Chain A
Amino acid sequence: MSLYGTDLLALLPELIIVVTACLVLALDPITPASRRDLLAWLSVGALALCLGLTGWQISVLNVRVSAFSDLVVIDAYARFWKILLYGVTGVIILLSLPYLKAERIHLGEYYGFILLALSGMMVMVSGADLLTIYLGTELMSISLYVLTGFNRSKPRSLEASAKYFVLGAFSSGILLYGISLLYGMAGSTKLASIAVAIGTRGADDPLLLIATILVAVGFGFKLAAVPFHMWTPDVYQGAPTSVTAFMAVAAKAASFAAFIRVFVEGLGGLKADWSLLFLLISVVTLVLGNIVAIVQTNIKRMLAYSSIAHAGYLLIGVVTFSGAAVAYYLVAYLLMTLLCFAVLVVVGNSGGSDQIEDFAGLAKRSPFLAFAMLIGMISLAGVPFTAGFLGKFFIFDAAIRQHQTMLVVIGVITVGCGFYYYLKVVRAMYWLTPPADSQPVPLSALSRLTMTLLIAAIFVLGVYPQPILNALDQPAARATISMFR
């Protein structure tokens, strides 16, 4: 097996994560309940190790490395997303620790499944073959089905898990069907071979179009784009909050990363066709996501619709072929969504529910938490000097360059809707009077530090985005991120 030596080396981060996940699952039964924290720290340690490894890979081999006869590719694009995913997963594990204890579901499997989902995401972002990407997607999704139903004593959590599973399995089937059609047409599931086959057969082949539509539908479910968004609100609301955060942030980023790679590297020849399809999808996603979010009273549901709406903005970036804008937007989205969920998790720890009205007077009870939520909300809304503003700005800028003025007009009008529902939360926190028996929400030093760092990152990205723009514009990163240009 020495043949695979270098290949295994390239996949070392994935292997570490999978081994750690198995280790956590194996150690769980023999770990006393009082020492389960160690499992969380073990997971964080593995993430730190991978972060170091991937960082080292960047500095040593800043090129595209293919492994396992082109099934997997490690390029700057994949490394960019992996590093983000490590960071996000680490933050979520740290936030989960007190939350799981408060919810009395502190079981070792949790960390095992988080890591398994992460390994799936890592495979997704570096897959160069449709089947590899499919395997990654399934590994991620199945772990998430389990995590969604993790709170076994709550019917809502189980219901969400069942719904997520049925719809997810359905969408996987559609995706697989699309992949099989592409295989039939190209004789291979490798993205590069499919691109070649499209080149020789021409873009008008009806079989190709049907396959593209099926693949788009399959990914549409994962991205929660309208009209494939139906599962999102129920699952976001029912899942344990830390899992919702993981889904909203990490799963979304990985799905987008894989989606862009498939449609650019594999189906790039059909750009004229799929860009029209995604144009329509992005418009309905923007309008529906933003308008339905207005009437939500549960903050997790509202964030579910907001995540749908943000998928719409990201799709604008995709249809206008601006990889750098999409990447910047996703980073901004990760930061601000993570911040909002961090506050939700901490409030949930002390028994608070997630109705918007239960945030009444949070500013009086816990000024720091309210401030963190305020920053998260105004950044999601897109107020200047936050990351969210520049994210939207770059997306709209890209759209204007492609003469999509109407798309931008729809985009900015929905931004207006967004302001309304994000400020509803701000209103509750700062203006409504807190219930008489309310207590300050306890906040650990670690959570406070995490939130402070997230707030700082949101402002740094919003005021001085040049470093990250440079990182996205490096020759190596440009390979895929800005390959549409």
Chain B
Amino acid sequence: MHSGGFPWLSLLLALPLAGAVAMYFVTESTARWIALVATLADLLVALPLWWLFDPQASQMQFTEHVAWITAPPIYYSLGLDGISLPLVLMTAAIMPLCVLASWSAITTRVQGFMAMLLVMETAMVGVFVALDFVLFYVFWEAMLIPMYLLIGVWGGSNRLYAAIKFFLYTLAGSVLLLVAILVLYFYGGHTFDILALSQGTYPASLQMWLFLAFFAAFAVKVPMFPFHTWLPDAHVEAPTAGSVILASILLKMGTYGFLRFSLPMLPDASRAFTPMMVALSIIAIIYGAYMALAQVDLKKLIAYSSVSHMGFVTLGLFVLNQQGIEGAVLQMVNHGITTGALFLCVGMIYERTHSRLIADNVGLAAPMPQYAVLLVIFALSSLGLPGTNSFVGEFLVLVGTFLWSKVATAFASLGIILAAAYLLWMIQRVVFGVPAPHHLPKLRDLNKRELATLVPLALFVFWIGLYPNPLVSRMHQSVTHTIASMSRAKVPPTAHPSAGGTAPLLVDSGEQLKTQGTSR
């Protein structure tokens, strides 16, 4: 049963689900409140973990371990380490903001919308805390349908196309993940335990295939160039809350997958594929930034900037050193905060002007000063200004990259310059531009609900930017552990006690059958 006392993580999973079930019985106006209460309660449960977490320990904490299915052995197995802790906390913190952002934007089938948000929260937290590979996959797949519905039912005019595209891309990747999981089970000593599988050693050729199967699933989610084409469509059509979930949390699943599975389980393949991964990351950084420069739609601009920024995360992961990986994890959180906030900003302006085009939203500084200030803060954070969160993350990633290759660092740095270009240019037009005379916007500034959505994120921007140590110190041991496990002493998986005898080969069972047949 529980080895860590109170089942924090189960509670974390159960609360949103309970809220989603409650949606079946309530009216539209109470649905909003129930969703807010459920997500806030979840945040309240998640917050103590920050202090209860022991930063000195590299193993999983708050673990729970209950048998789910006996043959094949699948466990309801949960746990947190320094890599998943920040992501779980970020998820719990972003979700109430998503509910707030949808408060007046969603007017049709509110109960259904809130139920989908809450189901998403359970599935997303589940992905980060699952320690059983099948459980992980179940949560991973469970995100597909609610997200598909969020885009497809409550999205923009071209929502069906975007929803189907999102669905097929992610599904195509994740079915191969299932094959890889089953193959790993077979070669890894007949267990789905993620930690045990991370200890195993697999033949180099098998590692290559498994890496490619993992890559198919995770690279689509990140999304890495050239699998990114679903992202701009999905972002543009999704409702604001959907975009925020997509950018802040869903994209992190891919990089989390690389870090949790590809690196520790397939170290040889990870090293072999490093040049390809670094090259794809750098292409994503530069290509995403160039595409962002050319966009006239605010959501598309931020979507392409996401491609660019996520390139930094994959770059940091695959240079395979302490600085790079710590920077990548930090950057995952940073991107979640900053890009989430930018999407919230776009959603707020869309509610007022019903347009996401830059040309239709020119010169907002005069009518909406508070909004303008926050937008500038988040844009500066996104371009990595020192003192904001992204600077720390990108700096660490670049330091890690520098240790691996100076040329790669030079190319990656181009991304930061381009980010400054497209974001400052956007700010120049949207905030300080001069609107056409007939176009003078009569807009009200942010109300209290909207301020409550954005201000917490702004605080995070500066807190991580100025004093990242509490966050970095909590992930330090886990990252060290991951890197150490990549160069561990190789233990053949056959040493596992359950490896023998459970799956007789064809010949054995044939003989067994023959004797059965004759004895009858």
A-side interface residues toward B, CB under 8 Å?
192, 195-196, 198-199, 264-265, 268-269, 271-272, 321, 378, 383-385, 389-390, 393-394, 396-397, 400-402, 405, 408-409, 412-413, 415-416, 419-420, 423, 427, 430-431, 464-466, 469, 473, 483-485
Contact = CB atoms under 8 A, between A and B. Distances in A.
A384 B14 CA distance: 17
Contacts of B517: 192, 195-196, 198-199, 265, 268-269
Contacts of A431: 152-153, 160
A390 B74 CA distance: 12
A409 B179 contact: yes
B368 interface: no
A378 B168 contact: no
A396 B69 CA distance: 16
Interface of B: 68-72, 134, 137-139, 141-142, 144-145, 148-149, 152-153, 160, 164, 167-168, 171-172, 175-176, 178-179, 182-183, 185-186, 503-504, 506, 509-510, 512-514, 516-518, 520
A397 B185 contact: yes
B171 A383 contact: no
A466 B70 contact: yes
A271 B505 CA distance: 13
A420 B172 CA distance: 11
A466 B69 CA distance: 6
A465 B153 contact: no
B175 A465 contact: no
B141 A384 contact: yes
B185 A400 contact: yes
Contacts of A419: 167-168, 171
Contacts of B71: 469, 473
Contacts, number: 107
A189 to B, nearest CB: 16
Given A269-B514, A271-B513, A385 B142 contact: yes
Contacts of B148: 423
Name A's interface SS: helix
A199 B141 contact: no
B186 A401 contact: yes
B157 to A, nearest CB: 13
B160 A268 contact: no
A169 to B, nearest CB: 32
B182 A416 contact: no
A378 B175 CA distance: 15
Given A196-B517, A483-B516, A416 B171 contact: yes
Contact of B514 (A199, A390, A413, A423): A199
Nearest to A275: B506
Nearest to B508: A485
Given A269-B514, A416-B175, A396 B182 contact: yes
A408 B175 CA distance: 10
Contacts of A196: 517-518
Contact of A427 (B160, B175, B183, B510): B160
Most buried by B among A268, A389, A412: A412
A483 B167 contact: no
B138 A384 contact: yes
A195 B150 CA distance: 57
Contact of A401 (B142, B149, B172, B503): B503
Contacts of B153: 430-431
B40 to A, nearest CB: 25
Contacts of A401: 186, 503
Nearest to A401: B503
Nearest to A194: B517
B141 A389 contact: yes
A465 B69 contact: yes
Contacts of A198: 517
A220 B69 CA distance: 33
Nearest to B153: A430
B194 to A, nearest CB: 17
B141 A412 contact: no
A400 B518 contact: no
Most buried by A among B153, B178, B185, B503: B178
Contacts of B186: 400-401
A378 B145 contact: yes
A10 B182 CA distance: 43
9 contacts: A195-B520, A268-B514, A268-B517, A271-B513, A383-B141, A400-B186, A401-B503, A402-B503, A427-B152
Contacts of B179: 396, 400, 405, 408-409, 412
Contacts of B138: 384-385, 389
A74 to B, nearest CB: 15
A76 to B, nearest CB: 15
B168 A420 contact: yes
B504 A469 contact: no
B506 A402 contact: yes
Given A383-B141, A383-B145, A397 B182 contact: yes
